């Protein structure tokens, strides 16, 4: 099944999805890697997390244009899942899968293929804002506007996973 979704996502939006579904996501996503997740714990989110989507990505940006936006390995962010879902995050985009347990009843994992950073950048329409630039380009939190980004539901809200 192919579904078009727009951020922010509601709980109902994600509860309807099943592992293996194709999704075309539009709206705002926020990049976050290891350092940003650590800072979320100590300083909170620099954006409203309710219904938000986090993209495990360290984009390559030139002249405020994303030239590459491939996913990073998501498993490193497993320790932060319960925290981000407790604050209202509804989806995570990345590669390689994650622990499916924290997703149950709370959110979904969208998979995007590794090695396709240039392709991913084609779905980024603009950079809206950047937070925590002191972390460096790859680890700052980038607020990106995406249009019909093609994704696969890798983990659904029942904990079903394509990765195990």
User: In this predicted model, what pLDDT tens digit does every residue of 9-24 receive, in sequence order?
Assistant: 999 999 999 999 999 9
Tell me the average pLDDT across 45-51: 99
Tell me the average pLDDT across 21-39: 99
Q: How confident is the model at residue 148 (pLDDT cuts 50, 70, 90)?
A: very high
Q: Indicate if the pLDDT at residue 1 is higher than 80.
A: no
The domain limits of the chain are 2-155
Tell me the average pLDDT across 54-79: 97
Q: Give the C-alpha separation, 44 to 69, whole Å.
A: 24
High-pLDDT (> 90) share of the chain, %: 99
Q: Is there a catalytic annotation at residue 56?
A: no
Pick 2-155's CATH classification: 2.40.50.140, 1.10.600.10, 3.20.130.10, 2.60.40.10. 3.20.130.10
Exactly one of 29, 30, 37, 91 is catalytic; which is it? Answer: 37
pLDDT tens, position by position, 100-147: 999 999 999 999 999 999 999 999 999 999 999 999 999 999 999 999
Q: How confident is the model at residue 73 (pLDDT cuts 50, 70, 90)?
A: very high
Q: How confident is the model at residue 45 (pLDDT cuts 50, 70, 90)?
A: very high
- Relative to beta strand 108-111, strand 91-94 is parallel
Residue pair 32/153 in contact by the 8 Å Cβ criterion: no
């Amino acid at each position: 099944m192919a579904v078009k979704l727009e951020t922010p996502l509601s709980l109902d939006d994600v509860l309807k999805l099943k592992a293996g579904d194709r999704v075309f996501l539009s709206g705002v996503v926020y990049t976050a890697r290891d350092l940003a997740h650590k800072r979320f714990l100590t300083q909170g989110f620099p954006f409203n997390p309710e219904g938000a989507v986090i993209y495990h990505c360290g984009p390559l940006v030139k002249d405020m244009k994303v030239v590459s936006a491939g996913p990073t390995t998501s498993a490193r962010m497993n320790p932060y899942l319960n925290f981000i879902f407790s604050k209202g995050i509804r989806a995570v985009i990345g590669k390689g899968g994650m622990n499916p347990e924290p997703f149950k009843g709370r959110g979904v994992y969208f998979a995007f293929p590794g090695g396709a950073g240039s392709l991913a950048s084609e779905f980024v329409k603009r950079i809206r804002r950047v937070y925590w630039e002191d972390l460096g380009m790859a680890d700052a939190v980038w607020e990106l506007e995406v249009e019909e980004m093609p994704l696969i539901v890798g983990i659904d809200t029942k904990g079903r996973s394509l990765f195990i």
